[in-house]
Amino acid sequence: MSQHHAARLPLRQVWPDEFVERYRAAGYWRGETMPGFLRERARECADRTALVAGDARYTYAELWQEAERIGAGLLALGLTPGDRVLVQFGNVAEFIPVVCGLFRAGLIPVYTLPAHRLTELVHFARKAEASAYITAARHEGFDHRTLARALRAEVPAVANVIIAGDAEEFTSLAALAGDHQALPDDPDPQSVAFLQISGGSTGLSKLIPRTHDDYIYSFRASNEICGIDRESVYLVALPAAHNFPASSPGWLGALYAGARVVLSPGPGTAQAFPLIEAERVTCVGLVPPLALLWADAAKASSHDLSSLQVMQVGGAKLVPEAARRLKETLDCQLQQVFGMAEGLVNYTRLDDREEIVLQSQGRPISPDDEVLIVDDHGDLVPEGSAGHLLVRGPYTIRGYHNDDGANARSFTDDGFYRTGDVVQRLAGGYLVVQGRATDHINRAGEKISAEEIEDHLLAHPAVFDAAVVSIPDAYLGERSCAFVIARAERPRAVELKRWVRERGLAAFKVPDQVVFVDAFGTTAVGKVSRRELRAHLRERFVTEQQGGERNDPEPHDAVKQGESS
């Protein structure tokens, strides 16, 4: 293992000195660390409830004890501080103690989503050079031990597998134990605390290294904006590893505040409403389709939801009409959240005028978030016009991990991150998201790279060419549609969907719809970019649909359902 360590790429996230000085002087970066603040809360809020998940309840003192047990146990297995560890959990009781345990031991969590499958895990394991995988025996009927075996076969460097529940041949999470004296001192606050997964607009997901200083600033400042304090109760309804429910202000913000975190096993109202009533939840973050479902269900619900003060909506565009509907139905405040795992997060403020809350996706957290809106040539657009959003600031990364190509594309020479979003700026710095300049599908908040899915479709022997496109969808916001030119034998749509799923991908990446075409209908296919081609197909399809010629209609009934037949 030590040889492997010697060759491993270091994790770095570095801002130029002048920025480090500025962000420290402004009080954004305070030298706090994840284990440092968790230890402090364990002292200050020892007997207060930190976490509620299923039947499990942890006080702050218990959460810290559990973090120390897990951290020491992992070191006893031979892991050493700096090792990267894939973490894959649904919203279950083990997730937060495991992440806190990794922080405590100086190990680096790599957050994967519960929906990710072998292809994605192999990519993350290789890219992060992970040496362990921690997951649950089963989640929603899927056996993660089988996945662990396949992962180990493909990436033997993943030497340790730790399982919550029946571990079979692997290490049991419950049995982890080790010498607490072996736990390291708190890390450098400028060092990388974890790797987050990018939405990925070109090709495969990239790894996002976030530092203690920058991330803690983002959720500490979010707490202030979102009114999170010790009396708050934050409900995690979206997958807890997502950046939004993790840090905007999310469960990390809530733990930082000494508040209570409640995990809902799923985003549905049947699971969440009883929890809101029982725990007196004050704040929750949702994607737009869920928010609308919740608002409808709330009208007819017998549950007491009166504790809810703020419903945050983000991850995908909440159109003004939908925002208005929410506002009219909800007995709590609506807050729009427009953020990205790479950094920048915008919020409407709790005291903003109604028009702003309905029409905009908020303004940046920090006075030092430098937002530029530029045209295709990189020149600033006139104030109020739409353009590409670029950003630089105290919690926006300067580079992805180990990806020179992506870094060259995604960052300007002076360190601005190219978000890929097209926005317009209103007075007061409020941003209105107009669309995307890059081809990914935002399927109810889950980001899907068109290119990634096209590559998988092209691997099918009967597929001559494929273009994956986002189609406006009344419920999901966007759904994915694969336009396919078949070779001699046209496969069935269900077969192509099964093909994509069986390539080891998250279910949400399976195309919602497959449309066979004889040609892509552009005269000079060789000369147009894939992007132009996708835009052309989308436009033609949407026009045809409006003309009543609904091609291959396929219903979908659940946000998290990645397929329909």
**Contact by Cβ (8 Å): 283, 310:** yes
**Residue 83 or 478 with smaller CB distance to ligand OOB:** 478
**Residue 433 or 505 with smaller CB distance to ligand OOB:** 433
CB of 96 to ligand OOB, least distance (A): 18
The alpha helices in 330-395, defined as continuous H runs, are: 354-359
CA distance 465 to 452: 14
**Residue 199 or 415 with smaller CB distance to ligand OOB:** 199
CB of 316 to ligand OOB, least distance (A): 5
261: amino acid identity, one letter? V
> Three-state SS for 506?
coil
CB of 382 to ligand OOB, least distance (A): 22
Q: Which element (helix H / strand E) includes 211? A: strand 207-211
From the DSSP assignment, how many helices (H) and strands (E) are in the chain?
Answer: 18, 27
Q: Is the dihedral of CA 141, 145, 150, 155 positive or negative?
A: positive
**Residue 443 or 447 with smaller CB distance to ligand OOB:** 447
Summarize as ranges the residues that interact with ligand OOB (CB under 6 A): 199, 243-244, 248, 314-317, 336-341, 345, 361, 419, 421, 433, 436, 442, 445, 447
Q: Is the dihedral of CA 501, 505, 511, 516 positive or negative?
A: negative
**Residue 104 or 210 with smaller CB distance to ligand OOB:** 210
**Residue 419 or 470 with smaller CB distance to ligand OOB:** 419
CA distance 27 to 173: 38
CB of 84 to ligand OOB, least distance (A): 20
Full DSSP string of 413-467: TTS-EEEEEEEEE-GGG-EEEEEESS-EEEETTEEEEHHHHHHHHHTSTTEEEEE
**Residue 131 or 410 with smaller CB distance to ligand OOB:** 410
CA distance 288 to 292: 6
Nearest to 85 by CA among 93, 94, 74: 74
CA distance 107 to 74: 9
> Three-state SS for 192?
strand
CB of 439 to ligand OOB, least distance (A): 12
**Contact by Cβ (8 Å): 552, 541:** no
**Contact by Cβ (8 Å): 376, 351:** no
Q: Which residue lies nearest ligand OOB, judged by its C-beta?
A: 339
**Residue 139 or 206 with smaller CB distance to ligand OOB:** 206
**Residue 287 or 493 with smaller CB distance to ligand OOB:** 287
CA distance 357 to 426: 12
Strand partners, 262: 52, 235
The alpha helices in 166-287, defined as continuous H runs, are: 212-226, 243-247, 250-257, 269-279
**Residue 247 or 309 with smaller CB distance to ligand OOB:** 247
**Residue 99 or 391 with smaller CB distance to ligand OOB:** 391
CB of 281 to ligand OOB, least distance (A): 19
| Cβ partners under 8 Å of residue 103, min gap 6 | 33, 34, 35, 38, 67, 71, 109, 193, 194
CB of 117 to ligand OOB, least distance (A): 18
